[in-house]
Structure 1
Amino acid sequence: MEGVVVRRVIPSDNSCLFNAVGYVMDRDQSKAAELRQVIAATVASDSEKYSEAFLGKPNAVYCNWILDSEKWGGAIELSILADYYGREIAAYDIQTTRCDLYGQEGNYSERVMLIYDGLHYDALAMSPVEGAPEDFDQTIFAVQKNRSIGPVEELALNFVKDQHRKRRFTDTASFTLRCGVCQIGVIGQKEAVEHAQATGHVNFQEYR
């Protein structure tokens, strides 16, 4: 297959997971509000499956929580969205170079790819050449009989390993961040989240 894997940067606005999924599924980076509604409706419709033990909070509380545009999504939301779209979602973690696959029990025939840096999700796409416009992106790939997506899978993994070598990830336990708005320094994900909740500032840069 000709082409290169590229990282399409999604705005850092606490909804990057949803907008990254919107981009790879629908080529639309503004689907966060709609996809949050989808998740809330799915969770509300099955309180047995989506129990407090599973969600970490009561079903109704979770549904209100996920509708808040300031709240971040993760594994629960990705597995629901994979089933909603009927496609596997491969989420590559730059720090560990691991790939978590969501929706694989659905035996779906297509897959999309995201990349995660410890705090933020971006979209992965196949582009004919480096620097080509997004119009040429391919974001949906056929899953083969062996459950791989062929050469694209190796290209994606090599891309993730390259991002890892360049340290394009955030070690969320011990990283030091500076708020891009007020320049205050924070240590670790916990402090960053607390600062974001207290101030509404979500533009952090890692510094050493």
Structure 2
Amino acid sequence: MQSSSNCFVGSDPEKYTEAFLGKPNDEYCAWIQDSDKWGGAIELSILAEFYGREIAAYDIQTTRCDLYGQQTKNYHERVMLIYDGLHYDALAMSPYDGAPEEFDQTIFPVRSDRSIGPVENLALNLVKDAQRRRNYTDVASFTLRCGVCQIGLVGQQEAVAHAQATGHVNFQEYR
């Protein structure tokens, strides 16, 4: 188990309590440092504080934008992510078509009105377009097949229960 001193969260166990993390601080630090584990809203909140930037996370399925780091801090920069039901990906703005990736802008200044200007509308339009094209996974109702025993499953809950009961972890989505 990793020491909590190797973990940003472990440096402030009074702030990052079991109530906030969903598990004891030391246990959380070991868990989050495991490369097989994935983060979500809690981790986005922590990362906003760690980097001193707002994080806007756009959900394709609902087109909702959750903003982390804006409530108690007055951060002057924002990054944007897009969530497809399984993964978060960074949103970047290219200065022109075909520009090299190193020219992409991923950090945007936050204005006095707490917006980032027209970039917000561009991001929302991108998310709405992805929603229209159904470029997301509905983890509550997607269909999976176990790659080991070929049983069909519906949703993340059934997949987790099957994995816990059988030890099988190789699943493929199918329609």
Structure with the largest fraction of helix: 1
Q: Percent identity?
A: 71
SS at match of 1:147: coil
**Equivalenced residues, count:** 169
TM-score (normalizing by structure 2): 0.83
Distance 2:138 2:119 in 1: 27
Distance 1:161 1:124 in 2: 14
Q: Which letter does structure 2 place at the counterpart of 1:94?
A: I
Residue 94 (1) aligns with residue 74 (2): no
**Structure having the higher Rg:** 2
1:45, distance to aligned residue in structure 2 (A): 2.0
Residues 84-112 of structure 1 deviation map (CA, whole Å, 9 limit, x = unaligned): 11111111000110111111131111111
Distance 2:45 2:141 in 1: 28
Residue 148 (1) aligns with residue 115 (2): yes
Distance 1:129 1:196 in 2: 46
Tell me the C-alpha RMSD between the 2 structures: 2.6
SS at match of 1:111: strand
Higher-RCO chain (CA-CA 8 Å, sequence separation at least 6): 1
Residues 3-61 of structure 1 deviation map (CA, whole Å, 9 limit, x = unaligned): xxxxxxxxxxxxxxxxxxxxxxxxxxxxxxxxxx9996222122222222221112211
Distance 1:160 1:183 in 2: 36
Q: 1:66 to 1:40 in 2, by over 3 A?
A: farther
Query: Could you tell me which residue of structure 2 aligns to residue 78 of structure 1?
Result: 44
Would the aligned equivalents of 1:39 and 1:77 in 2 still touch at CA under 8 Å?
no
1:79, distance to aligned residue in structure 2 (A): 1.1
Residue 122 (1) aligns with residue 89 (2): yes
Unaligned runs of 5+ in 1: 1-36
Distance 1:49 1:70 in 2: 25
Would the aligned equivalents of 1:40 and 1:66 in 2 still touch at CA under 8 Å?
no
1:192, distance to aligned residue in structure 2 (A): 3.8
Q: Which letter does structure 1 place at the counterpart of 2:85?
A: G
**Paired residues for 1:1-208 under 5 Å:** 41-104=7-70, 105-178=72-145, 184=150, 185-193=152-160, 198-199=167-168, 201=170, 204-205=172-173, 207-208=174-175
Query: Could you tell me which residue of structure 2 aligns to residue 28 of structure 1?
Result: none
Q: 1:138 to 1:102 in 2, by over 3 A?
A: same
